[in-house]
Amino acid sequence: MHDWNVVVSLHERQYGRARKRLEKLGQVHRTAYFNVLVMKVEDIGQLLETLQQEVEEDPRLLTILARVIPVTQAFPFQTVEEFETKAREASLTFVPDLVGKTFHICMHRRGFKGRVSSQDEEKFLDAVLLEALTKQEKPGQITFADPDAILAVETVDCQAGLSLWTREDRQRYAFLRLD
């Protein structure tokens, strides 16, 4: 498995076009999953701004790229238990950004079929974050209707990554498409 910090989902029959566009921005690798690439970039902020500029200049780019999700916390795992332990630790780093906010978790799993349930893990991480916020007496609230933030959880085989996206991020970067 390649080291990555971005997961890219493509629209059908766009692999060649996508790879050509993305290789200018970082290392691009094929995965075992249909229409899914991973990337390693040096600067996530630069990737976001460059892609946004390219989308503004040529909105047809969104017909190639279905979703582009950079991650800021990444870790390998071999078991469901290891995933949950590491995902718990990683998600808790976002607590200061979630104080008094509405949020939810959105997980896209590739691999571990039948062993890791996206819905179960979303609920697990929701509970972890709500408990941590309550302990600080600064509660948050789960909502799916235009939340203040969405915690994205991406897995590709035995590698996971998490990142937090505000409402403003989601409005600015059309290619995020978190839900």
Percent share of the chain, pLDDT over 70: 99
pLDDT at 55: 95
Provide the 8-state DSSP code for 40: E
Give exposure, 19-37, as e/b (b: 16+ Cβ within 10 Å). bebbeebbebeebeeeebb
Sheet harboring 36-40: ordered strands across? 27-30, 36-40, 6-10, 65-70
pLDDT at 1: 59
pLDDT at 141: 94
| Mean pLDDT within 111-122 | 84
Nearest residue to 170 via CA among 148, 155, 154, 153: 148
List, for residues 18-50, the tens digit of each pLDDT value: 999 999 999 999 999 999 999 999 999 999 999
* pLDDT beyond 90 at 138: no
What pTM, to 2 d.p., does this model score? Answer: 0.93
pLDDT at 116: 78
Q: Could you give the CA distance from residue 19 to residue 124 in angstroms, rounded to a whole number?
A: 35
SS3 assignment, position 7: strand
Give exposure, 71-85, as e/b (b: 16+ Cβ within 10 Å). bebbbebeeeeebbe
The tokens for 120 are 């179960």
